[in-house]
Amino acid sequence: MTNIPETGRTPRVAIRLIALQILVVSLLATLGGRLWYLQIRNGQEYTEKASRNQVQEVITPAVRGSILDANGIPLADNENRLVVSADRTELLRQKDDGKSVLARLADVLDMKPQEVQDKVRLCDSKTPQPCWNGSPYQPIPITAEATTKQALAIVERRDDFPGITAEPTAVRRYAAPKGAGAAQVLGYLSPVSDEEIAEREKSGSPLQRSDQIGRSGLERTYDAQLRGTAGVNRHQVDNLGRVIGSAGNTPARPGSSLVTSIDARVQGLAERELDAAMKEARKQIDRNTGVPYKADSGAVVVMEARTGRVIAMASNPTYNPNAWVGGIKPKTYKWLTSQKSNFPLLNRAIQGQAAPGSIFKVVSTAAAINAGYPADGGYECSSSFNIGGQVFKNFESESFGGISLGRALEVSCDTVFYRLAYEQWQKDGGNNPKHPKDWFYRTAHQFGLGARTGVDLPSEVTGRIPDRKWKKDYYEANKEAWCDQAKSKDNDYATKVARENCAEGFKMRAGDSVNYSIGQGDTLVTPIQMARIYAAVSNGGTMYQPELGKAVISPDGHVKEIKPKVVGKLPISKETRDYMDEAFAGVATRGTAAWRFQGWPQNDITMHAKTGTAEVYGKQTTSWFASYTKDYAIVMTISQGGTGSGASAPAVRKIYNALYGVSEGGQIDPKKAWLPKPQTKLPTVNHDGTIKQIPAPDKLNNVEPPDTSANASGPLSPFALSPRNPEYRGDTRKPRRLS
Amino acid sequence: MSSHSYSVRRYTPERGTMGKVFARDSLLWRLDWILLGSALVLSAVGTLLVYSATRGRTELNHGDRYYFLLRNVLNVGIGFALAVAVVAVGHRRLRGAVPVLYITSVVLLLAVLTPLGSTINGAHAWIVIGGGFSLQPSEFAKITIILGMAVLLATKVDAGDRKHPDHRTVMQALALSAVPMAVIMLMPDMGSVMVMVVIVLGILLASGASNRWVVGLIAAGGLGATLIWKLGVLDQYQIDRFAAFANPALDPSGVGYNTNQARIAIGSGGLLGKGLFHGSQTSGQFVPEQQTDFVFTVAGEELGFVGAGALILLIGVVLWRACRIARNAGDLYSTIVAAGIVAWFAFQAFENIGMTLGIMPVAGLPLPFVSYGGSSMFAVWIAVGLLQSIQVKKPVSA
């Protein structure tokens, strides 16, 4: 290198070439360092990212658990329907992105091609429904109502229908065995919302976009148990989502079944009897208004007296819950949530609240005795009671003279309770209260009124006890409106009330307390609250949390029983209980309900009852009927239905007839008794996970329901049942097993 | 005896063909075998990587998994033949043809702008010849710029008139390089322009031109880049590439997708890689343009740190030999040509690998010897031919 005479390189060039070389080396070193950083230092992180890159999850939905009655008869289960689905990935592999396949499919399914096209497009903010909002790797259901012929046409011509499958798929069904629709009790499912997905994302049981979730009733309360765990098929895919291999599967775990305390037979009967009673009431003329009773809604609760378990819970108007299956039609939904249908989605047994009328006297009697009034003292039952010129009449202005509290219950004498309440109001300081004891209000709270019972159904309401606190809160909320109306020159009833309320609405007035003592005025209760109270009187004073769920049975046969929960005691002594017990029996034998229980085998099955007829301003009277035996409590109400004994009592008696096997004439035939004792056994589980019904075939299947009105029918929904749901025919179907 | 026969042969005027080829001072003997070997290994590994990346890409390979493999082998073969031809002609004899070559390449570049040209990946830089072949004239322009500038800058110095190129000559040389760059900028193919700027810089360094020119060019480059950015000459896709480089998490399914997927593929390779043809990211086709601009990701994923590092090392070997050739060249013309090639290979390799590693913005540049692509393969092998020719013709010094 020393003697290169002819080279043109000068030292400047030589130095620069070395600089160039150093630059090159440093560039390459940079690359090597960065390579080390990515592959060695952060290799693990990128390996994880890579594996996430390639795996797509396809969800196999878990079969939802059934909701069973106490004997194992499914009230809600699943049936296999032929679901035709399209696989987008496969469709997109076609030359025309599957357009011709979908057109052929529409032809086979008798659908419009556009409709099918729309169903497989993916939802985004700009796409209107219908569209698919699930994972694009999930088969997209086109219809859940394919006929066998249509399915065969698809399956047999595989080449014409690439990416299209027709498979039997489990779909929810509310079979209404024995007429037990139990629509509001069972609730319904509807697709999950974005919020719910976000909410449950981090939880152990995340939701999928295609999932249905229990929206109401038992479906909602026990959603977590019924849901099961979805299966996951992990596919290795390339960047276009084409499947290139499998990366492991987790099979779906079906949901557990819920055994309820509902007895399908009793439930069906309760629904029919409620409906019949309401129809009957509509034939009666209301003497106050001169028009037939509207009987717009009603509810029945049949409760086990010693556990608080609910055997039947009917609400009217009702509807066919199968309307929700496969997506509710907008028209149907509009109907269900409209005034016209009177909101059949509401469960009036827990969401319907009304003034209790005289069935509230169970509280007033206990309050009076606790306040120190002797039960057998002589109390004046005049035809009316006058406070400062305001006249409070006895019901139908009857007069019985001086009577005991028990007799006051039997004949439902209002004036006796008026006087007691007025006296207490005066003792508490009248219009200027000083340390009021408020016996009547305090006792109501102790009886669980004005608060939720905690029944295992969602959206229960509290009812209302119009005590001093409530009056004050209510006044604060309404004084402006009242005082505005008070300025009006009109002199109608509403304006008068407004004036009074504006002036002293925050005060507990004498009239308020007097009205309250007989369950009138601002008092509101729900049927379930009253059923629990009468059940507690029956069982000696224990208040249970009402429950419908009795046990959760997992698919592998593990049974988790839901025990009755004691939540309190009635604030009455044993003597008081016994005294009231006798008085309520008197109601059925010589009191207000006696005419309805003529011939009842009172010596064998002691019937206790209390009638109630609550007046509501601007409406017809609410019929209440509360009753109990040593085993059961039944409370029924019909809004704008007339009197308690007139409208509701016969229906309640028919339910007792069926439970105990009592004929119309009062003969007991133990063979005909459906449920002389509450069901304590649980249905058992076969090894294959199916539920074995409690074997009582003669009782379960061969009993003719007692005489009910000829027009007793199941669903009242105005929309005709689809011919594809012929099974919704009430009690003609055989009970189905779980599959 | 052998030493005797050696000396005899050496001074024997008539030697046989075989003798000529294998003689101690013969062309073959004087070739840089390390350079040639490294270039061949790089091309061979590249062929395998291209095959790995394309065997599953049915939308590209017309259903024939060997389509790209065979074409790449053909490209390497043609490239090798071109290199042999260059050595046979000799870089000094090519000097006379440089004006013709230069004008041809500019005409070809201009032809791209006419309806003859085609757009691939946003750059209107190709002439489709037919039969599945297409030509990217900017690849050849890199060579003609090197040759043209070398002729201009070296003539007076090599003639002994001057010690270093004068300002006037430097200006002429810059103007010469500016013409093709201006045309390429219109395509727009900013990646190639960047490489050419670096080539010009390398050439100015090696030519011994005044420091002022070197510093001035760097300043002009910076100013030009700023102007290009500010004046909005860039297309949206180019701005997006830079934005994605600055923040790869910006849009993982859009602009940042390439770089993100490239890094995942390389990073998941680990120390030893997943094995040739066993890369899940490669067979899953998550990295776009994997056989061309992103071919290094295949190496990263399937061959790991060891294999990909070896690839970088091989490129290093090529550059080391090229630098050595530049230093030992017999005249300034040869030095400039070799140094221009060093700048070209070094920057293009750095930019290409750097973008897959996420330390450089994405630019559509092939990895020399490794990426699939005819024009690029021919150009780098012609460059190898030039280097070998310089090596062969260097003064015997040892």
ipTM of the complex: 0.90
Shortest CB distance from A34 goes to which of B202, B359, B395? B359
CA distance B239 to B245: 10
Residue A67's closest CA among A268, A261, A253, A266? A261
CA A641 to chain CA centroid, Å, is 24
B302 → chain A, closest CA residue: A39
Burial letters for A498-512: b for 16+ Cβ neighbours within 10 Å, e otherwise? bbebbeebebbbbbb
Q: What residue segments make up the domains of chain A, in order of their start?
A: 60-173+222-255, 264-355+525-701
Residue found under tokens 């004949």: A411
How distant, in Å, are the alpha carbons of A599, B139, B195 from that of B350? 105, 17, 11
Shortest CB distance from A20 goes to which of B205, B208, B316? B205
3-state helix, strand, coil in chain A (%, to 5): 40, 20, 45
How distant, in Å, are the alpha carbons of A225, A525, B86, B295, B356 from that of B271? 48, 74, 40, 18, 17
CATH: 3.90.1150.10, 3.90.1310.10, 3.30.1330.10, 3.40.50.150. Which one for A60-173+222-255?
3.90.1310.10
CB A319 within 8 A of CB A183: yes
Cβ distance A6 to B330 less than 8 Å, yes or no, reads yes
Cβ distance B263 to A46 less than 8 Å, yes or no, reads yes
B257-267 and B236-246 helices cross at what angle (nearest 10)? 40
B287 lies in some domain: yes
pLDDT tens figures, B346-397:
999 999 999 999 888 888 899 999 999 999 999 999 999 999 999 998 765 4
Q: Taking CB atoms and an 8 Å cutoff, what residues of chain B touch A28?
A: 312-313, 315-316, 319, 346, 349-350
Shortest CB distance from B312 goes to which of A32, A50, A237? A32
Residue B202 near chain A (CB below 8 Å): yes
Residue A15 near chain B (CB below 8 Å): no
B68 lies in some domain: yes
Shortest CB distance from A50 goes to which of B281, B312, B330? B281
B262 lies in some domain: yes
Mean pLDDT per 10-residue section of chain A, whose length is 739 residues: 50 90 94 93 87 71 90 90 83 82 89 84 73 72 83 82 83 90 92 77 69 90 89 70 67 89 95 95 90 94 96 95 79 87 94 94 95 91 88 81 92 92 90 87 95 95 92 89 85 84 85 91 94 96 95 88 94 94 94 92 95 89 95 96 91 95 91 91 78 64 43 36 34 35
Cβ distance A28 to B312 less than 8 Å, yes or no, reads yes
SS3 assignment, position A676? coil
Dihedral, A265, A266, A272, A273 alpha carbons, nearest 10:
150
Shortest CB distance from B206 goes to which of A1, A13, A43? A13
Q: Taking CB atoms and an 8 Å cutoff, what residues of chain B touch A4?
A: 330, 395, 397
Cβ distance B281 to A24 less than 8 Å, yes or no, reads no
> Alpha-carbon Rg of chain A, whole angstroms?
35
B354 lies in some domain: yes
Shortest CB distance from B280 goes to which of A35, A36, A50? A50
Pairing type for strands A257-260 and A549-553 reads antiparallel
Residue B217 near chain A (CB below 8 Å): no
Residue A24 near chain B (CB below 8 Å): yes
Cβ distance A20 to B208 less than 8 Å, yes or no, reads no
pLDDT score at A134: 66
What backbone phi and psi angles, to 5 degrees, belong to A402?
-85, 125
Instruction: Give B3→chain A minimum CA distance, Å.
Output: 25
Interface test with B, best of A17, A34, A236 (most B CBs within 10 A): A17
Q: Count how many domains chain B has.
A: 1
CA distance B292 to A275: 78
Cβ atoms within 10 Å of A229's Cβ, excluding its own: 15
SS3 assignment, position A268? helix
B136 lies in some domain: yes
Half-sphere exposure of A664 (CA within 13 A, CB side): 5
CA distance B19 to B212: 51
Instruction: Give B231→chain A minimum CA distance, Å.
Output: 31
Cβ distance A49 to B154 less than 8 Å, yes or no, reads no
pLDDT tens figures, A103-149:
889 988 888 888 888 888 877 777 776 777 666 777 788 887 888 88
Q: Pull the structure tokens for residue A602.
A: 């009172």
What backbone phi and psi angles, to 5 degrees, belong to B309?
-65, -40
Q: Taking CB atoms and an 8 Å cutoff, what residues of chain B touch A246?
A: none
Q: Is A53 exposed, middle or buried (0-12, 13-18, 19+ CB in 10 A)?
A: buried
Burial letters for A432-471: b for 16+ Cβ neighbours within 10 Å, e otherwise? eeeebebbbbbbbebbbbbebbbbbbbebbebbbbbbeeb
Residue A29 near chain B (CB below 8 Å): no
Residue B305 near chain A (CB below 8 Å): yes
Residue B281 near chain A (CB below 8 Å): yes
Cβ distance B328 to A1 less than 8 Å, yes or no, reads yes
Q: Pull the structure tokens for residue B48.
A: 């395998």
B198 lies in some domain: yes
CA distance B302 to B277: 7
Interface test with B, best of A46, A234, A240, A246 (most B CBs within 10 A): A46
Shortest CB distance from B346 goes to which of A4, A24, A34? A24
Instruction: Give B4→chain A minimum CA distance, Å.
Output: 27
B384 lies in some domain: yes
How distant, in Å, are the alpha carbons of B54, B56, B297 from that of B67? 8, 11, 20
Q: Taking CB atoms and an 8 Å cutoff, what residues of chain A touch B271?
A: 39-40, 43
Q: List the domain range (segments joined by +) for residue B372.
A: 29-392
B159 → chain A, closest CA residue: A8
Q: Pull the structure tokens for residue A732.
A: 């003609």
Cβ distance B319 to A24 less than 8 Å, yes or no, reads yes
Q: Pull the structure tokens for residue A425.
A: 């109001």
- Looking at CATH, the fold of the domain delimited by A264-355+525-701 is given as Beta-lactamase (3.40.710)
Each residue's pLDDT expressed in tens, for chain B with a length of 398 residues:
444 444 444 455 555 666 666 666 677 888 999 999 999 999 999 999 999 999 877 777 777 889 999 999 999 999 999 999 999 999 989 999 999 999 999 999 999 888 888 877 666 778 887 766 778 999 999 999 999 999 999 999 888 888 889 999 999 999 999 999 999 988 878 889 999 999 999 999 999 988 899 899 889 888 887 887 777 666 666 676 666 666 655 554 455 677 888 888 999 999 999 899 988 888 777 788 888 899 999 999 999 999 999 999 999 999 999 999 999 988 999 999 999 999 999 999 999 999 999 888 888 899 999 999 999 999 999 999 999 999 998 765 43
Residue A42 near chain B (CB below 8 Å): yes
Interface test with A, best of B153, B203, B258, B281 (most A CBs within 10 A): B281
pLDDT score at A401: 87
What backbone phi and psi angles, to 5 degrees, belong to A625?
-145, 115
Residue B388 near chain A (CB below 8 Å): no
Instruction: Give A198→chain B minimum CA distance, Å.
Output: 22
A44 → chain B, closest CA residue: B268
Residue A300 β-bridge partners:
A314, A636
Q: Is B44 exposed, middle or buried (0-12, 13-18, 19+ CB in 10 A)?
A: middle
Strand positions, DSSP E, B6-139 = 117-120, 123-130, 133-135
